[in-house]
Amino acid sequence: MPFFKTKLSSFLLLFLIVFESNAQNISVHDPVVIKEKDTYYLFCTGKGIKTYSSKDLKNWKPEPAVFTEKPVWATSVVPNFDNHIWAPDILFYNNLYYLYYSVSAFGKNTSAIGVATNVTLNPKDKNYKWTDHGIVVQSHSNRDEWNAIDPNVIIDENNTAWFSFGSFWDGIKMFKLSPDLKSIAEPQEWHSIAKRKNTPLSGGSSAIEAPFIFRKNGYYYLFTSWDLCCKGKESTYKVVVGRAKNVTGPYVDKQGNLLAQGGGSIVTKGNENYFGVGHNSAYTFDGKDYLFYHGYDAQQNGKPMLIVKELQWDADLWPVITE
């Protein structure tokens, strides 16, 4: 009996360790996070937009996908669309949650970004219901040198909403959003805020995507991801940053290079624990700044996993994380 009890105790301990490990490690691409009351909600790429919740930013549980059925307009953009939705962004504004999301075919700029709203993120709330408002912006092959994916919305000091987006092609674009945050403001105002294509600093590479703008220290920090995502062990993704005093730029890196001319300072890149890391988001929660992103776990055969790091600031007010 003592032997049995010892074995049983060992099994239970191992079970608890494995359970805790699984609870704290979720497989995600392109995570964004927001807090409602005492709960954090994470949205990421996946069927219908994968969703998780957490009380502590460590232990996550799955929640219902945003879209149980694909958006009605999606097949007009991507024929045979299978409801695999990319790279969401979440924002709370004027008592509504705005969720922006990407519909695209891989490697093409036949893409569109849509938006849905909800009054709550708690699926158990009687008022929980996502309402889709359709396309915000769309790119077309043989017309546009930009790609309508990877949205991010920032509210500036004048309470004006700005919408940045983009992948490869002609880089990261930005336009002013309408006051209801559902369409491009008129008259239209567009900016090109970062690119790598055919620039000396990039060596001719056009691999830039996933903008995220974080306001802090009197600056707007523009994070983007360089190089190749979604290749497991072969991924070369990395997070870079530049900053500007104005939301529309010009954004510069630590050396003063313009991001619009291929500049960017590396914040984090792959290491022995995670291959190519990137597609980040940044927030302040309860007085602490955090960086969320995905990386391909070297211990799990390159599986994409959530990484959460506390964000620090050096003496010159540039973002730093501890690897």
The binding site comprises 30, 107, 147-150, 167-169
Are 98 and 153 a contacting pair, CB within 8 Å?
Answer: yes
* Residues noted as catalytic: 30, 209
Residue (of 197, 272, 187, 186) closest to 233 by Cα position: 272
Alpha-carbon distance of 39 to 35, in angstroms, equals 6
* DSSP character string of 248-303: T---B-TT--BGGGT--EEEEE--SSEEEEEEEEEEEETTEEEEEEEEEEGGGTTE
Determine the Cα angle at 113 with ends 111 and 119, to 5°.
160
- Radius of gyration of the CA atoms of the chain, in A: 20
C-alpha distance from residue 37 to each of 21, 238, 286, 291 (Å): 26, 32, 12, 20
Q: Which own/partner pairs from 53-57 qualify as long-range (CB within 8 Å, at least 24 positions apart)?
A: 57/33, 57/285, 57/290, 57/308
- How far is the CA of 156 from the CAs of 135, 176, 214, in angstroms? 23, 11, 10
C-beta separation of 138 from 77 below 8 A: yes
Binding residues for substrate, as ranges, are 30, 107, 147-150, 167-169
**Closest to 104 in 3D by CA, of 71, 81, 132:** 81
Match 């609870």 to its residue by tokens. 23
| Phi-psi category of residue 255: left, alpha or beta, with phi > 0 → left and psi -120 to 50 → alpha | alpha
**Cβ pair 54, 40 in contact under 8 A:** yes
